[in-house]
Amino acid sequence: MSGFPLREIRSYARRERPLGGAALAARERLWGRLAVPENDWHRLGAGPRDVVLDIGFGDGESLLTQAAGDAARDYVGVEVYRAGLVKVLRGIEQAGLTNVRVVEADAHDLLRKIGDRRVSAVQVFFPDPWPKTRHHKRRLVQGPFLAEVARILRPGGMLHLATDWAPYADAMQDAVASVPSLVFHEDGRAERPWTRFERRGLKLGQPARDLRFLRAVDAGAPNEP
């Protein structure tokens, strides 16, 4: 396991209303069946199926759409906001999906508990850009986070980033360039579904930019995929 340092600065600020009665009831009913408890985080990716880690899934629209169209892989959505978590729990139930689970956690806390080379893909779509210079230290996609992503990705695994904040896209690309084992693959959304959030951004003149990187196969390990 990694020696990931404890991190005091969080990449999010908790500002959310308490869940209403119906949402609380849905969480109580579905949580035990569809959420991954903390004492099982270390098991993620240990099974035979490929795992996609979706970090900061928001309202879950993209996560649910991808999982519904990709039954061969398991999706694990990571989020700190409880409204989004409950929305995905309900979406999983309504769609009858069997390949999606959720984790309520800060991504840094989760990543350091996942074993090396366990995950086939990590995706981070539209993380908070923290546009003010004094807040850049709160951005998720930077050195320590990327080092952990590189560690948990299988050789040939994909890191897919998307943002509609152009300066953050440039900063992401520069940050990933400092991690030798993450190699730029190509721009472009690939199979990433369109979401209502993204379409609103387009109307405001903020098109998204997608960046995709591959986990390099380690030199001296010719038998790795």
Cα–Cα–Cα angle for 134, 138, 139, rounded to 5 degrees? 110
Residue 183's SS3 state is strand
CB atoms within 10 A of CB 202: 12
Question: Which of these is catalytic: 70, 106, 109, 128?
Answer: 128
- Radius of gyration of the CA atoms of the chain, in A: 17
With a CB cutoff of 8 Å and minimum separation 6, the contacts of 92 are 30, 34, 64, 100
Residue 81's CB: how many other CB atoms inside 10 A?
17
Is 128 an annotated catalytic residue? Answer: yes
Q: Are 92 and 63 in contact (CB under 8 A)?
A: no
Give me the active site residues, please.
128
